Amino acid sequence: MITALAAVFVFMMVIMFHEFGHFITAKMVGIKVHEFAIGMGPRIFHKTKGETEYSIRALPIGGYVKMEGEDESSDDPNSFNKKPIGSRILVVVAGAIMNFILAIIVFGIISYVMGMPTTVIDEVIVDTPAYKAGLEPGDKIINVNNKEINSWNNVIKEINNVEPKKDIEIIVLRGSEKKSFTLKPKFDKETGRYLIGITTKTNKSFTSAVKGGVEKTGEILGAMFEFFRMLVTGEIKKGSLSGPVGVIYTVGQAAKYGFMNILYITGLISVNLGFFNLLPIPALDGGRILFMLIELFRGEPLDPEKEGFIHFVGFVLLIILMIYVTYSDIVKFFG
């Protein structure tokens, strides 16, 4: 039951923000919107206001914004196909942008609740490399191995860039005085990282939370680009991709450890959805953008029937991929 509720919450949040991006931008550029729907399948709630019907549908596995002239020809001056290319591209890309904004919000909330790590040492654990070298609580780390430090992530990165069994040099600010320490990090099998035995002070503020949200979203986006590169080069192993079943399983596992973990998964999925939707694949937002860019360079749109057929083929291929990864998920998690 908890897994189901958590999964519905995550899917609804991610989909709602995505579709709201399309919807609000379409309204801003003057496109007629017939329906703004969250979910798929039979309607369980609907209300009409102005020219738009707002609906919630039974299955929380999607959503859509039905715009005049988006998938068919229309002579209405307020139709999608009658608007300038720039406006149309903005409407299409707005869904992914809202997914990134959602990620920044949820990661910002997590950063505020948990506190953003600083470069000031909070505790030095007894009998660790840091303790033996002479580091003390209150020391502010400003340099590791001749690399300037401006975040806790930099500290972790530089410590873990060390060659095995090699010493590192850490420069700290103690009061107004700079002090240098040489120590040898110790490899921890549980975390798979090199550690020196310190914890960091955290900072809770609106500014640090926003910064944390932006940084985490950027970090995951970077990981997505790396994943896509590895996918193209064949470095991704079979079974690494996951579909809805894998997502629900992951959400269920996160739900066991509290709401903050559900929020984290929400942000992660939101970034993934935004990134994936912008790929230049037919039937996705990125595919639509690609066709509009082709139209821009050609000076005229492609034949709507040909474009529709290409999107249909892309949709079929995506469905086949979804069936495959769903089967793989079932075997992996429940087989």
CA angle 41, 68, 94 (to 5 degrees): 80
Single-letter residue type at 170: I
Number of Cβ within 10 Å of residue 123's Cβ equals 13
Cβ burial, residue 37 (10 Å; 0-12/13-18/19+): buried
Phi, psi of 271 (to 5 degrees): -65, -45
User: 134's torsion region: left (phi>0), alpha (psi -120 to 50) or beta?
Assistant: left
Catalytic residue among 19, 68, 70, 307: 19
* Separation CA 281–CA 279 (nearest Å): 6
Contact (CB, 8 A) for 245 and 87: no
H or E element: which one contains 195? Answer: strand 193-195
Please choose, from the candidates 233, 260, 265, 278, the residue with its C-alpha nearest in 3D space to the C-alpha of residue 94. Answer: 278
Distance CA 168, CA 166 (A): 7
Q: Which residue type does 17 have?
A: F
Residue 182, Cβ neighbours under 10 Å: how many?
11
Active site residue 19: yes
Three-class SS state of 9 = helix
What beta strand segments (E) does 50-176 contain?
Answer: 52-67, 116-124, 140-144, 147-148, 168-174
What are 120-126's contacts with CB under 8 Å, separation 24+? 120/200, 120/201, 121/172, 121/198, 121/199, 121/200, 121/201, 122/198, 122/199, 122/200, 122/201, 122/202, 123/198, 123/199, 124/197, 124/198, 125/197, 125/198, 125/199
Tokens in use for 206?
């609106």
Catalytic residues: 19
